[in-house]
Structure 1
C-alpha cells in the first residue's frame, strides 16, 4: 500500500475543500484513485465543475449492504489570526494533527477509505457489501447527499454509518435543523402614536417567543431540549415610524418526536392568534428554507450493541452520545427510509468549525481498528 494510515490522513488534509471556494472534486478523485489502486471498485459521481461524490464498493458475502458516509468539504478557515498553524497545511504536534477538517471530518472520511482499501488488499471479504460514499457540499445544501440518492445501486442498507466527529463514542441521535423564515406585514404609524399602527418587528418577536415556548415542552434524554433562536432580522423605516414590514430567520434545532410539519402548524396557530388580536391587520408568511429531520437509532439495535462491545474490548467509553448539528444522515435517511443510522468518528465534536482544529492521532488509529473489527 502506498500510504500508511497517518500519511494517508495527511495527504487528505493537504487537499483544500472549503465549501464554495475550493475544488471538492479534487478530493473525490484522490480517494477514487487510492481505492482503485487497492483493487476496490470506485467511481467519481460528477455534480459540477467543482463538486463531485466518490463511491467505492467492496463486495461482501451477502447482497445485504451497509453505507459508510463522510463529507469531503470543510467550512472556511475563519479569522486567520486565531490560528497557530496554517489551516490548509496539516501539522503534527503533541500527538495531534492540526488542520481545517481534521476533526470535521476528514479524519473519519480518510479512515473509512483506508479501512476499505486495506480490506481489499488483504483479501478480506466482509459479511455485507460495503458502499463507501464521500459526499460534497454537506456544510451548505447537501447537494452530494441528494445526488447520491440518485445512485440506483444502494438498495435497502442494513446500516448507515456516518463518520462525523463523536470522540469515538457511539452517536445514536442527532438533532434536526429547520430554518424558518417569517415575513411579517403590519401597519405603519407615527412613532408618537404606536397604538395606531401594527408593529411588524414586535409581532415577529412575539411569534418567535411563543414558538420557543412550544418547543420547550419537549425534551430528550441525551440531547436535552430543542433550541430556537433568531439568526437574521430586518425591519424598520425610520426612528420615528412604526415598522410595517419585518423579516426574521429562525434557526430551530429539533429533537426526535418533533417534525417540520408540527413546527409549521404551531407557527401558524400563533400567527392566527395575533391576526385575531389585530383584527386581521397583521399578515405573515412562513417559508421553510432548510428541513433536516432528527435521527435516532434504537438502543437495542444489533449494530449499536456490536459497536459498544468492540469499544469495551478496546477499553474505550461505550456510553451513547448525541450531536446537535445536522449531517448528511438527515438527507440520506429520508431517501432511504427505515435504515438505522450510527454516528461514529474519531474527531472531537467541540473542535468543529473552530480555529486550531485538530484530531488526536491515537483516536484516529483506534477508530481504524474498531471500524475494521466491526465489519
Structure 2
C-alpha cells in the first residue's frame, strides 16, 4: 500500500506554566524538524482569545517558520477571511511569497475562528470582509495576488488598478478550507484546491469530497481536483504512552464542546489527576480512539495508509496533539515532536 505524503497543522498549543514565547519557540522548532524529516507543508491555524492556543496571527508565524526552514511549504490552515480585508490578506501573502518563493500556501476559511465577542472586536476597525460575499472576496484575493492585479471599476466611469505587490514573480497557492458542503462546492466551482477539516469531527467527510470531485470545474492552474485531509495524531513507542499524551487534548475538547471555561492545556499528570476526579474527558475518549490516529508507530502508519487510500488522497495533514509530561522542557514540544519523528520513520523514510 502506497504511503501518503505527510504535512503538519499547528495551533501552537500553550500548556500550563508555559509562556506564549516558549510555545511559539516550541512550534518553530517543530517546523524545523518537519522540514528536516521530509514533511510536505506546515500550516498555522487562526484562533483568538484561547488560553491554550497561541496561533492568533498566521502570517507572522508563517514568516518566522519560512526563515527557519529550507524546503517545506509554509502556510495558513487557515486565515479566517471574515476577520480581514481581502486586500490586507493578499498583501500579507504576496509579501510571504516574496520571502519564500514557491513555498507559500494561503488556506482560507469562512468561519470566524472565535466567539461572538471577539468577532465583534475584530470587526470594530471596519476593515473586515462580509461573510455573505465570501466567494467574491476569494476571487478578489486571486486577482490581487496575480501579476496582473485587480481592476476597480467606478460607477461614474473609469478604472483603477490595484496590486498586492508591485512586481509579483510568483503567487501563493490558494486553498479553500471547510467542514461542510459550502466550501467544497465553492472550491469546485472556482477550480481551487480544497481541504476538509476532518480533525474537527469528521462528520460529512465523504459527502464533501464527493461534491468537490463531482462538481469540479477545471482551472488553468488546476486541471483536476486537488485535496488532502487533516487528522489528529498522537504517536508514541507504546499505546499506553500515546493515550496518556492524548488525554490533555481530549479534556480540552470536552471543555470546548461543553461550553466550559477554557484553560491552558493541562500536562499529562494534571490531566490524569483531574480525570480521576471529574471524568470530564470520559465521553470523548472512545470517540477519539475511533477517529484519531493514536498508538504506536507501525499501527498508526498502517491506519494512515488505509485512511488515505479509502478517501483517495495522497497527502494527510497531521495535527500532532500529544501533550507534555511535567518534566519536559517548556521550550520544546516533546510529545508533538515524537509524533512527527515516529511517523516520518515509518511513512516518509520508507516511501
Question: How would you bin the TM-score normalised by the shorter chain?
Answer: under 0.3
Q: Please identify which structure carries the higher helix content.
A: 2
Q: What's the TM-score once normalised by structure 2's chain length? A: 0.27
Between Structure 1 and Structure 2, which shows a larger proportion of strand residues?
A: 1
TM-score (norm 1): 0.26
| Greater relative contact order (CA < 8 Å, ≥ 6 in sequence) | 1
